[in-house]
Structure 1
Amino acid sequence: MNAWNPGGQPPYDPRAGHQPQPGPYPPPPQGPYPPQPPDGGHPPRIPHPYVPQPYPPHPGPPVPPGPFRRLWVRIGPIHTARRVFKPSRPGMVDDALVARVQKIRTLVGLGALVWMSLAYKVAQSVSDIADDRLSQSWNSVLMLSVTFPVAMGVLLALAAPSARRELLRRAGRCFGAIVAIVAAVAVFPAAVLSGFVDGRFATGPAMAVVTYGVTILTFLWVVPFIFWGIGLALVHVFRTADIHETVPPLLAMTLVWEMTLVDLFTDAYAGVPGPLRVLLMLGAPVSVTAVGLWELHRLRVHHGIAVRDMLMRQPG
């Protein structure tokens, strides 16, 4: 008896005719299959042996875009509109929460306008509402194009003399964005008045192909640029954050009250009842003003940027 033979059984030697003695444990099952059930049912299912799967191929390095893709990114209408109308001054504060609140306010205001316009028959269809919103957006761009130079003159008059050159340099891209959107819209009347669309310059087969090809490509580029540019110009207020972070909310509040006065004098929403008409006309300016004041407060509290910093005057 030892640690390896606790029962004291004699060793098993098949050559001597010895038989193994029964131990405390049952013998292992015979054969590769489990015992069959006595009731004649199906035997238990044998799990399928695990087969190792090959590893997925390792992804290679990203394939660089082709020359046409790089050209489209560089000169495409949407990418060009982003470069022209989005502010890009180094060190500029970009608050993601403010941008999210502005988008929510815009969507809620647009939904309320669509519902009231359809409920009170101000517009006959959704397409009429879209045309009206596009027209109002373009009027806002024109109004902002007039308001911005006036506001810039007031800013230069109040700013420190040593800062006026820097402010004018920063405002250069803002004026460039105004010129870009006006020039893009002017392409259509210029093409019609010059006879380019009517084929005035198509004096031969080759010139006809060139003329109509240029016309189609121009319209395919200009139309997305105009639509995307109008939206970005209004959201970023002609990229006036390049001047100072507090300029966009101030100009946005000024613009929305100017457009409210225009709606008042043009008798907008004439088919809407009195209380709802007042709510519809004042909803946009009140909400934009609330968001603008909150944005100014957030810039001052969380980022240390105040309106007086725009004047670049030394304290004292």
Structure 2
Amino acid sequence: MSFGGPNNPYQPPYQPPPTNPYQPPPPNPGPYSPPPPPPNTGPYVPPQPYPYPNPYPPYVPQPRPYVPQGGLLGGLRGAEWPPLRDLLRAGRQRMHGCVWLFLLLPCTWFVVPFLMAGYVFARSARVRAHRLFPPRAHRLYHDPQVTRLQKARALSAAAMTLALLIAYGKPEDFGEVQQQYLMRLVVTPPLLLLSAPVVIAVLYRWAPPHARPHMGQRMRAAGKAALWYVGAVTAIPLITGIFALSDDVPWLAAVLMVPLYWLLFFLGFATGPAVRSGFNSAGVHAALPALLTGVLVWEFAIISLVAGGRPPGPPLVSVLAFVGGPASVCAVAWWEVHRLQTRHGVRLRG
């Protein structure tokens, strides 16, 4: 009997050789094993597409229908007027019963097409006017303290004018004040068109050399908008003159009514923003609106003195009233320029 060697029947059971405990186990070759990862052939491997179809399509925002805020007419006070189709669709549900009664009466049917055509003309002219003269672009930097001081100065000037009229004025002086106010409304646009180029030229001369190309580009944009306004103002008397000469051609008058109404709407919507912004002078230089205000107030004072005489009252009070108003406006304008220089780095000279 042999007790050793390979033929020993009492040898211990077979044990596998020792392996590295830190080595990962071999892959499972079974039928439910996950697919092997794709080979990495570069420093960046793009993400693999999802193997199943996406049940949720990508979100695409849809345009919301026009819903007027504050009623049908309250929505027209915003920055944008809706097209006529959207306005009628929204007003069909919000229209008052009296308006429906007005529309259903046969005697008023001829008015509805004119109202619709007038709205289309007004909207077209308003869009063009606000594109050339944005309503809220009269200041490049909004300063609440300057705005409050300007309002306080305007209220104090109105109170002083009323006090002078009550203390020293005559009955005809009240009518003269109203005439001067209407005269200012008429004279302001052409006076601003004449004064703005002079102030811009002086400021362009003072500006540093590196800022002049940017100012030149802005001046061309402002000049284009001003030419639109001057063209509209010039075209209206020309069209009315053609009306007077076209008595024998009735169809010509009907054709010219279309541009005349559009120009009137355009001037109505463009005059206010154009005067407040100084024909987009804030885009040329941030200090231009304040400088133009200081120049215009003295021009208005001289025009009022020539047209209506000095303010009522004793000589000393009259001189103080004549000088105090423009001087206070110039003080506020200069303080605004000072705040632009200290808070926003605006420079007048190079």
Does the C-alpha gap of structure 1 residues 94 and 214 become closer, same or farther in structure 2, counting only changes over 3 Å? Answer: same
Q: How many aligned residue pairs are there?
A: 239
Query: What residue number does 2:249 align with?
Result: 203
Indicate whether 1:255 and 2:296 are aligned. yes
Distance (whole Å) between structure 2 residues aligned to residue 210 and residue 263 of structure 1: 41
Query: What residue number does 1:156 align with?
Result: 204
User: Mind listing any 5+ residue stretches in structure 1 that lack a counterpart?
Assistant: 1-60
> Match for 1:64 among 66, 72, 76?
66
Query: What residue number does 1:170 align with?
Result: 218
TM-score (norm 2): 0.54
Distance (whole Å) between structure 2 residues aligned to residue 279 and residue 195 of structure 1: 49
Distance (whole Å) between structure 2 residues aligned to residue 201 and residue 131 of structure 1: 35
Return the offset for 1:131.
3.8
Amino acid at match of 2:344: G
Return the offset for 1:169.
0.8
Distance (whole Å) between structure 2 residues aligned to residue 152 and residue 235 of structure 1: 16
% identity of equivalent residues: 26
Return the offset for 1:81.
4.1
Return the offset for 1:63.
3.5
Deviations 1:29-77 (A, max 9, x none): xxxxxxxxxxxxxxxxxxxxxxxxxxxxxxxx96326522596785244
Deviations 1:153-201 (A, max 9, x none): 2233333334322111112233234334433333442233x332x3716
Indicate whether 1:224 and 2:268 are aligned. yes
Return the offset for 1:208.
5.2
Distance (whole Å) between structure 2 residues aligned to residue 81 and residue 116 of structure 1: 39
RMSD value, Cα: 3.8
Return the offset for 1:243.
1.6
Query: What residue number does 1:306 align with?
Result: 346
Does the C-alpha gap of structure 1 residues 292 and 266 become closer, same or farther in structure 2, counting only changes over 3 Å? Answer: same
Does the C-alpha gap of structure 1 residues 189 and 159 become closer, same or farther in structure 2, counting only changes over 3 Å? Answer: same
Distance (whole Å) between structure 2 residues aligned to residue 111 and residue 184 of structure 1: 37
Does the C-alpha gap of structure 1 residues 165 and 81 become closer, same or farther in structure 2, counting only changes over 3 Å? Answer: same
Indicate whether 1:121 and 2:170 are aligned. yes
Query: What residue number does 2:287 align with?
Result: 246
Amino acid at match of 1:203: V
Deviations 1:113-153 (A, max 9, x none): 46645762374666x64442132243343333222222222
Does the C-alpha gap of structure 1 residues 246 and 95 become closer, same or farther in structure 2, counting only changes over 3 Å? Answer: same
Distance (whole Å) between structure 1 residues aligned to residue 288 and residue 173 of structure 2: 38
Distance (whole Å) between structure 2 residues aligned to residue 100 and residue 75 of structure 1: 35
* Paired residues of 2:204 and 2:212 also in contact (CA < 8 A): yes
Indicate whether 1:284 and 2:321 are aligned. no
Distance (whole Å) between structure 1 residues aligned to residue 245 and residue 161 of structure 2: 42
* Paired residues of 2:246 and 2:253 also in contact (CA < 8 A): no
* Paired residues of 2:133 and 2:274 also in contact (CA < 8 A): yes
Does the C-alpha gap of structure 1 residues 223 and 131 become closer, same or farther in structure 2, counting only changes over 3 Å? Answer: farther
Which aligned pairs between 1:83-102 and structure 2 lie closer than 5 A? 83-86=131-134, 92-102=140-150
Return the offset for 1:285.
0.9
Which aligned pairs between 1:177-192 and structure 2 lie closer than 5 A? 177-192=225-240
Distance (whole Å) between structure 2 residues aligned to residue 234 and residue 122 of structure 1: 32
Does the C-alpha gap of structure 1 residues 211 and 263 become closer, same or farther in structure 2, counting only changes over 3 Å? Answer: closer
Does the C-alpha gap of structure 1 residues 166 and 202 become closer, same or farther in structure 2, counting only changes over 3 Å? Answer: farther
Distance (whole Å) between structure 1 residues aligned to residue 258 and residue 170 of structure 2: 42
Amino acid at match of 1:195: I
